[in-house]
Amino acid sequence: MDVYSTSFTHPRRMRHYSSLSFDLHGGDFRFPQSESLTAMHKEHQIQENHVNAVPDASSDSESIHKLTVMAMSVHGCHASSFMVDQGRGWNFYITGLYQQVMMARGMILKDCPLHHRAAIKVPRSDILDSPSSKPVLKPDVRRRLDEIASQTMAHIAVVNSPLSLSNKAPPDGINTSSGWSGLDTERVCELVVTGQGDAVELARVRLLVMLDELNGLHAELCEIDHKLHAIIAGRKRSILQSIQEETATNIYLPSPLQGLVGSENEKPGASARHIIWVTGEFFGVQRARDMLLQLSANKSKSVVSRDSAILPRKLDWMILEHAEDLKSIMSDNASHVELPPIGSSNSLITVYGDQRVNVQRTIRSIMHLACQYYVASFWLLPIQFNALLPPTTLNASQVNTLLKQISITTGAEIVFKSMCFEMHGLEYEVRAAVTMILDLDVIKAFHHEIRFQIELANEHREFISGKKNGKINKIMQASNVKIKFETFNDHNFLIDIAGNDSSVLQGLSLLQEELPAEISFHVPEAYHKRIIGIGGRNIQRIMKKYGVYVKFSNAEEFAALGGYHDNEDNVVARTPSKNSTNLDNLKQSVMEIVNPKDKDYVNETVSIPRRYHRILLGEKAIFIHDIESKTNSRVRFPDKETASDVVTVFGPENQVQIAVTMLLEYVPFEADLSVPPSADILALCASADFAAFVERVKSELQVSITPTLQNIISNGVGSSGSEASSDCTFKFRCQRSNTDFLTAAREMLEQFLLNNKIHVYPSSTAPSHKGGDSFAEAFPHFDSKVLSTARRHESVELSKPEGFRERRLRLASSSPDVKALFNSPPYIFDVEDHEETQASYVHNSGLDYWNKQLSPIGSGIPARARHTDDAFKRGSDSLLESKLKGQMLKPRSLQNRAQSLDLTYSLSRINEASSRLPPPDSPATSTGGTGGNSSPTSATAPSFPSVYVPSRPSRAGRSRDDESVDEVSRVISSLRL
């Protein structure tokens, strides 16, 4: 009988398994991938003696060696293993009879001690006695962790989270400038669970239930057949979410893939896969439990099932590499997939559901996933056949070395049987393995035939072959290969590509260019006819332009088929892979006619702490539904058993951000402020003054302050007079829309503590404890004596001789002169360079001239326009050049004056003597605009009066007193004071 040999690497290099290990003596929880994270954990490690240690590299090697020896003795074949990928995996080589080799392979894959990891963020005060310094686990928490670790066979550790460090990026919905930094917003640690297979999933659920119980919630379990879990949860767990809304509970489902991986000796029990945990208020838990049991009884009567066949190695690859994808397929389609245990060589799967459409979509999705896995064979044929001579073969030592080398290098599983190499893996892995075998010298002594096997959905069969098999014939002629279609099952078919040399790789590349690339999206059915057009003219034009096939599903087809890639997708676009870049272009063309509120559905994620999910789903459910109806979106909370904080909002692209903002308005924001230990702080927090202070802050700023005094009470501070052993914290709570007031609330609390002789830590963001003027802060762009703020914009003051009264002009960035905004000369911002020149210009031009002729904004006094274009052209006129230079050197404060609320100078002019000389005469006609970059004056549009040039002589004879009074009146009327 032929010898069957196989070599494979497990876990595959694409998997992100971390070789986690504990140093029991030093308490160092190591992350080999991140040195900075390792250093952070070294500094902030919390070591607990009760935590079971994860085996280190040496004990892993010992476990792998024992497993290999056991597989050899049990199944009667030869097996060997050694470490690869810098200790992140092992390569196994097994040889013997086919049945024995396959059973030994399955045993190794199932029982290999791989370490999964899960982390749960927990508030430090929930599980630690001293959250700030010298942390110690609470006795009750220690006991519960021991029980969970022993029942689930998982390893549990408490480590400090890197997220607990202060001064990090603000959370979602928090303004960076609102002053939230300086408050500790993430006083959390992590419960890290490591173990094999199902142990991590079970331990994580039990830990989440424990944390709910520590927060005062009631917990109960109910046992329901695991095949019904996804069915009663509904598509995308919509029914389960509605139950949680109605009862304000948390419902934790077990993993649907339990029992497929892991040693039989370490499994916690077969009944664990049927247990559903429910936590919440007592009566809510009872209602939710009854609703689940009633729903399961109803659904069990309408369950339908269907079988399908998949290659065993593809099933093993799905379970090991795409477990999350399988869970997502079940959740999206409200169905359960019964998979054979890993390595069992069983090819049959069974899909359970309550609707035929859901079952069909599940099988279709799994088959689509299976198409990513390739199979290739490399046959070695003798150069000439001679019946008198034995056939040329490869010796066992050569095969052993070749299989290991190719498997380690490419990552594919390599099999040798009957002078044939088989390669199993992803496309690039299989292609690399074939290329390596072609380059071997020992292979060149043989003729060879190479075959690739590709699996594809039946609906793509005509798409690949083309009209009258035109595409296939063209590929066969171009690359000298043979292509054959074979029926595989009800959903998929196989494509065989065969050739004698490296030309088969070229044929594979050409065929891959013809494989379909798809994109699916949702278009409301009301737009379908408009997009398709009369007789399909519009859509035909679009398809011809981009070379893409488009299929619209109406309500009946959608009900019979279900969505395409997503549940809601009713339009699919398909094109050859070589033309895949046009898919997005076609989608944009199709969507042009769709209203913005109905198109471009996207998923937007927002991080909301897990402890608020139950409240949002329960008490705030009515507001969530209001947000969904207003923004045409859907808010999807994460599965409870994943311990995730990420909430997904699904909706139109131009509405989803609005939905996220509205959702965050209902999420409370919490932050902690630590103060040094003090024996007087307990008495202060219990006083009536502190209660009145807290009430005042809450009424004025909508921020509640709660002291955390458990540590001080437990240490007897205030009663025995002993020193406090840890910090006291004050918790700030407010809505995220009120986070701007956190700075003021913190400063008020710090000032209150200082007034009562309680020390506080210095804050980098608040060097002084002076309260800010919130009214003045609302007008940061207006500097005046009416609104006096701490901010001062840069102002330009002209140097002047003694006794000169000058009106101070400030530049307000929010309201510049309208004319200067459009026709600002290029030199207007160059203030510092010309400061000396400006001062001399003012001094030489006559003080009374500038002192009297400043026209207020809105006075209605016409002004001269100043043009310099002609002056630049006529450089020979020296007098004109001197005038032009004088105009250009006028100070910025006089050319681009902003409207000011400072009336001091205008009021003082009422009492001035009117005996000053009249201003110099000005020409009756204007010579142009304001600068070289100005546009011509419009003949119809009124020009804005300039306030920075002398007034016309027609107003020179006016009385100075009357003019000053009128000027102040105009300023006041223009400001609407």
Determine the longest span between alpha carbons in the chain, in angstroms: 138
| Residue that is last in its domain, among 514, 547, 563 | 514
Q: Do 732 and 670 meet the contact criterion of CB atoms below 8 Å apart?
A: yes
Tell which wins on pLDDT, 478 or 872.
Answer: 478
Tell which wins on pLDDT, 387 or 789.
Answer: 387
Domain membership flag for residue 783: no
Please say if the pLDDT value at position 721 is more than 70.
no
Instruction: Looking at the structure, tell me whether residues 526 and 674 fall in a common domain.
Output: no
Q: Which two tokens stand for residue 603?
A: 């998923």
68 phi, psi to nearest 5 deg = -65, -45
Mean pLDDT value across the chain:
75
Please say if the pLDDT value at position 956 is more than 80.
no
Of all residues in the chain, what percent are helix, strand and coil, respectively (each to 5)?
45, 20, 35
SS3 label, residue 29: strand
Cα angle 124, 128, 132; round to 5: 65
Please say if the pLDDT value at position 102 is more than 90.
yes
Please say if the pLDDT value at position 158 is more than 80.
yes
Instruction: Looking at the structure, tell me whether residues 588 and 704 fall in a common domain.
Output: no
Instruction: Looking at the structure, tell me whether residues 626 and 532 fall in a common domain.
Output: no
Residue 2, domain extent:
1-39+54-113
Residue 561 pLDDT level (bands cut at 50, 70, 90):
confident
Q: Which residue has the tokens 């080398």?
A: 405
Q: What is the pLDDT of residue 345?
A: 83
Q: What is the pLDDT of residue 254?
A: 92
643 phi, psi to nearest 5 deg = 55, 35
This prediction has a pTM of: 0.70
38 phi, psi to nearest 5 deg = -60, -45
Share of the chain above pLDDT 90, in %: 36
Per-residue model confidence as pLDDT tens digits over 593-631: 888 877 888 889 998 888 889 989 888 889 999 999 999
Domain membership flag for residue 258: no
Q: What is the pLDDT of residue 812?
A: 41
Please say if the pLDDT value at position 836 is more than 50.
no
Instruction: Looking at the structure, tell me whether residues 502 and 642 fall in a common domain.
Output: no
Share of the chain above pLDDT 70, in %: 66
Integer Cα distance of 863 and 945 in angstroms: 5
| Residue that is last in its domain, among 514, 538, 569 | 514
860 phi, psi to nearest 5 deg = 85, 5
Instruction: Looking at the structure, tell me whether residues 100 and 144 fall in a common domain.
Output: no
Per the DSSP assignment, residues forming a β-bridge with 249 are 280
Please say if the pLDDT value at position 585 is more than 70.
yes
Tell which wins on pLDDT, 137 or 330.
Answer: 330
Domain membership flag for residue 346: yes
Please say if the pLDDT value at position 145 is more than 60.
yes
Per the DSSP assignment, residues forming a β-bridge with 452 are 376, 497
Please say if the pLDDT value at position 190 is more than 80.
yes
Domain membership flag for residue 654: no
Tell which wins on pLDDT, 131 or 599.
Answer: 599
CATH number, domain containing residue 569: 3.30.1370.10
Nearest to 893 by CA among 829, 802, 955: 829
Question: What DSSP character marks residue 377?
Answer: E
Instruction: Looking at the structure, tell me whether residues 736 and 718 fall in a common domain.
Output: yes
Per the DSSP assignment, residues forming a β-bridge with 494 are 455, 486
Instruction: Looking at the structure, tell me whether residues 315 and 387 fall in a common domain.
Output: no
Q: What is the pLDDT of residue 677?
A: 76
345 contact partners, CB below 8 Å, separation of at least 6: 102, 103, 106, 312
SS3 label, residue 521: strand
SS3 label, residue 219: strand
Identity at 791, one-letter amino acid code: R
Per-residue model confidence as pLDDT tens digits over 266-290: 556 667 889 999 999 999 999 999 9
| Residue that is last in its domain, among 731, 766, 801 | 766
Q: Give the Cβ contact number of residue 33 at 10 Å.
A: 11
Q: What is the pLDDT of residue 72?
A: 92
Task: Write the Ramachandran bin of 573: left for phi over 0, alpha for psi from -120 to 50, otherwise beta.
Answer: beta
Domain membership flag for residue 802: no
Instruction: Looking at the structure, tell me whether residues 102 and 207 fall in a common domain.
Output: no
127 phi, psi to nearest 5 deg = -120, -10
Q: Give the Cβ contact number of residue 802 at 10 Å.
A: 4
Domain membership flag for residue 487: yes
Residue 88 pLDDT level (bands cut at 50, 70, 90):
confident
Instruction: Looking at the structure, tell me whether residues 501 and 411 fall in a common domain.
Output: yes
Cα angle 415, 417, 422; round to 5: 35
How far are the Cα atoms of 30, 188, 553 from residue 35, in angstroms, in the given order? 9, 21, 52
Residue 80 pLDDT level (bands cut at 50, 70, 90):
very high
pLDDT, mean of residues 684-707: 90
Per-residue model confidence as pLDDT tens digits over 431-477: 999 999 998 888 888 888 999 999 999 988 888 888 888 889 999 99
How far are the Cα atoms of 865, 931, 941 from residue 896, in angstroms, in the given order? 14, 13, 21
Domain membership flag for residue 289: no
* Least confident residue range of 197-201, 240-244, 291-295: 197-201
Instruction: Looking at the structure, tell me whether residues 495 and 432 fall in a common domain.
Output: yes
pLDDT, mean of residues 893-899: 43
Q: Do 29 and 119 meet the contact criterion of CB atoms below 8 Å apart?
A: no
Question: What DSSP character marks residue 635?
Answer: E
Integer Cα distance of 234 and 238 in angstroms: 5
Q: Do 156 and 207 meet the contact criterion of CB atoms below 8 Å apart?
A: yes
Q: What is the pLDDT of residue 921?
A: 47
Integer Cα distance of 763 and 180 in angstroms: 12
Domain total in the chain: 8
Instruction: Report the relative pairing of strands 304-309 and 155-160 from DSSP bridges.
Output: unpaired
Identity at 297, one-letter amino acid code: A
Instruction: Looking at the structure, tell me whether residues 569 and 609 fall in a common domain.
Output: no
Per-residue model confidence as pLDDT tens digits over 752-778: 988 988 888 775 444 444 444 444 444
Whether the bond between 676 and the residue before it is cis, its omega within 30 degrees of 0, is: no
Q: What is the pLDDT of residue 94?
A: 94
Q: Which two tokens stand for residue 266?
A: 């370490």
Instruction: Looking at the structure, tell me whether residues 912 and 924 fall in a common domain.
Output: yes
Integer Cα distance of 293 and 277 in angstroms: 13
CATH number, domain containing residue 692: 3.30.1370
Residue 843 pLDDT level (bands cut at 50, 70, 90):
very low
Per-residue model confidence as pLDDT tens digits over 332-386: 999 999 999 888 888 899 999 999 999 999 999 999 999 999 999 999 887 766 5
Please say if the pLDDT value at position 675 is more than 70.
yes
Per-residue model confidence as pLDDT tens digits over 222-273: 999 999 999 999 999 999 999 999 999 999 999 999 888 776 665 566 678 8
Domain membership flag for residue 291: no
Nearest to 207 by CA among 640, 616, 607, 710: 640
pLDDT, mean of residues 491-501: 91
Q: Which residue has the tokens 């201003």?
A: 919
- Across 288-369, the runs of DSSP E, i.e. the strands, are 304-309, 335-338, 348-353
